[in-house]
Amino acid sequence: MTESAIFQPLALPNGSTVSNRLCKAAMEENLAEQPGQYPGTSLFALYDAWAKGGVGMILTGNVMVAPSSLTGPGGVVLEKGTDLAPFKRWADIGKSGSAQMWMQINHTGRQMYKNLGEEAVSPSDKALDLGKLSSLFAEPRALQESEIEAIIQRFVDTALQAEAAGFDGVQIHSAHGYLSSQFLSPLTNQRTDQWGGSLENRARFLLSIVERVRKAVKLSFGVAVKLNSADFQKGGFEFEEARQVVEWLNGHGVDFVELSGGSYESPAMTGSETGAEPDNSTGKREAYFIQFARDIAKVADMPIMVTGGITKRSTAEDAMQNDAVGFGVEMLGIARAMAFNPNLPNDWKEGRSLEFEMPSPNWSNTSLKGLATMAITKAQMGRMAAGKPVNPNISPIRAMLADQWHTARRAKNYRKWRAGKA
C-alpha cells in the first residue's frame, strides 16, 4: 500500500464503504444519563467532537444488553422496549461527519463492581484475582443453560434496537475478559456441558450470538466481533485459539474482526502490559498486536482491525503494510489517543501531531496501573463532554480519586433506578 493507505476507503462485506481506515475504537466513558442509563448531553458532546475528527468509523463504548450487567454505573443500556429517541440522536451525531457509527454491545459477566449491588454471573464460579483489588468485584455464580440462551437473545434484541435507531452496525464484544471472552478462556470457563471444555464448546456462545444476530438484522447492517488475540495469562485463551475462532467466523457474515488483548487481570488493552515485551517501549508495545493481526489475517475472509495503543502515524502506516505474502491489517482502532486529541485523524492527514506520547503512571502494580490509566483517559473524555480542553498533565492519583467519587455517585443513582424497575 502507499504512504497514504490509512486514508484510503475500505469496502466492507455488507456492501458499505468506510471513508478511511481509522476507527475511533471503543472506550469506557461512563457518561450515561441517569436515571435510565441512556445517551444524553454528555455523550452527544463527546461524540460530536469525534465525528468532526476525521475518522472513517466510530465505535461506541460498551452498550450493555442487560440492565443488571454494567461495566460501570455510568454505562449505557439498550434492551427490547427501550425508548430509541436518544439513541437515534446519538447515531445521527456520530454520522454527522464522514464516519460510520457502530454500537459495541456487551455483557460484563464476572467483571462487575460490587457497589452496583447486582449478582455477577460467569460460565463458572471463578472470581477475579486482582490481589487487594479483588474485593471491589462481586463474586460470580455459574450460569444455567437457560440463562445462557436468554443472554444470547438479549444480544439479538440489542442489535435489532441499534439497527432501528439508525446505527450502521454492531460490534459484539468478546475480548478484555467480559462474558463472551470468559466463555472462550479455559481459566474462566470450567464447564463440562456443551458450553465448556473443548475450544469448539467454549466458542459456542460467541458463534451463537453472531449467527443469531446476523440472521435477525438486514444484510446491509454491519456485524463485527472484538476478539482477544490472547489473554496474556498462563493457561488462558491463546493466539492459536484466536486464529481458530476467526476461521470459524468465516462465512458467518462478519464485516470485520477487531483484535486486541488482555482483561482486568492482565490489562494489555491499556498499554500497561503485554506479557511479552520486557522493555515495554512504546514502539514495541504498539507493534505487538499488529504482528498478531497480520498472522490472523492469513486465515480470515473478513477485514482485520487492530487496536492496541497506536499513537504515532508512522506506526499506523507500518501496520497497514502487507507482509511478505500479501496479508495485512485493513483497519486501525485508535482509542486512548482520541481521548487526548479527538482531531488526531485530521491532524495526521495534514501532517500535524504525527507523534503523541500519552501519559501513563510509572507504577509496578500492573492492575493498579491499568485502573489509573483508564481513570486518566476517562477524565479527558469527561472534559470534552463538558466542553473543556483536555489536560494531559492530570495527576493519576487525582484522576483515580475523582473517578471513584463520580463512580460512587453514579452507583447510588443506578441502584435507585434498579430498585424502581424491580
DSSP letters, 213-226, are HHHHS-TTSEEEEE
Distances 199 to 91, 225, 382 between C-alpha atoms, Å: 36, 17, 40
The enclosing domain of 92 has a CATH number of 3.20.20.70
418 exposure class (CB count in 10 Å sphere: 0-12, 13-18, 19+): middle
| Mean pLDDT across the chain | 89
Indicate whether 369 pLDDT > 90. Answer: no
In the chain, how many domains are there?
1
* pTM > 0.95: no
Residue 232: pLDDT band with limits 50, 70, 90: low
Write down the pLDDT at residue 372: 87
Looking at residue 234, its pLDDT comes to: 62
**Would you state the pLDDT for residue 155?**
98
pLDDT over 60 (residue 67) = yes
Supply the pLDDT for residue 277. 38
pLDDT at 271 over 50: no
- The residues, ordered by sequence, that sit 6+ positions from 255 with a Cβ below 8 Å of its Cβ are 12, 13, 14, 169, 222, 223, 224, 302, 303
Domain boundaries, position 350? 5-421
Query: pLDDT by residue (tens digit) across 83-120?
Result: 999 999 999 999 999 999 999 999 999 999 999 999 99
Measure the N-to-C terminal CA separation of the chain; round to a whole number of Å.
Answer: 55
How many whole angstroms separate alpha carbon 109 and alpha carbon 76? 16
Confidence category of residue 133, pLDDT binned at 50, 70, 90: confident
Q: What is d(CA 101, CA 52) in angstroms, rounded to the nearest whole number?
A: 13
pLDDT of residue 40 exceeding 80, the answer is yes
CA neighbours closer than 13 Å in the CB half-sphere of residue 316: 28
Report how far residue 87's alpha carbon sits from residue 162's, in angstroms, rounded to the nearest whole number.
Answer: 8
pLDDT at 241 over 80: yes
Contact 347, 353 (CB under 8 A): yes
pLDDT band at 309 (very low <50, low <70, confident <90, very high): confident
Q: Are strands 57-59 and 22-24 parallel, antiparallel or unpaired?
A: parallel
Q: What is the reported pLDDT for 1?
A: 44
- The per-residue pLDDT for 324 is 54
Least confident residue range of 85-94, 232-241, 334-343, 407-416? 232-241
C-alpha–C-alpha distance, residues 422 and 416, integer Å: 10
> Residue 389 pLDDT more than 50?
yes
Return the C-alpha cell found at 159.
442489535
Q: Is 354 exposed, middle or buried (0-12, 13-18, 19+ CB in 10 A)?
A: middle
In the block, which residue shows the cell 483515580?
400
Average pLDDT over residues 326-350: 91
Radius of gyration of the chain (CA): 20
The DSSP code for 115 is G
Q: In this model, does residue 148 exceed pLDDT 60?
A: yes
Residue 70 scores a pLDDT above 60: yes
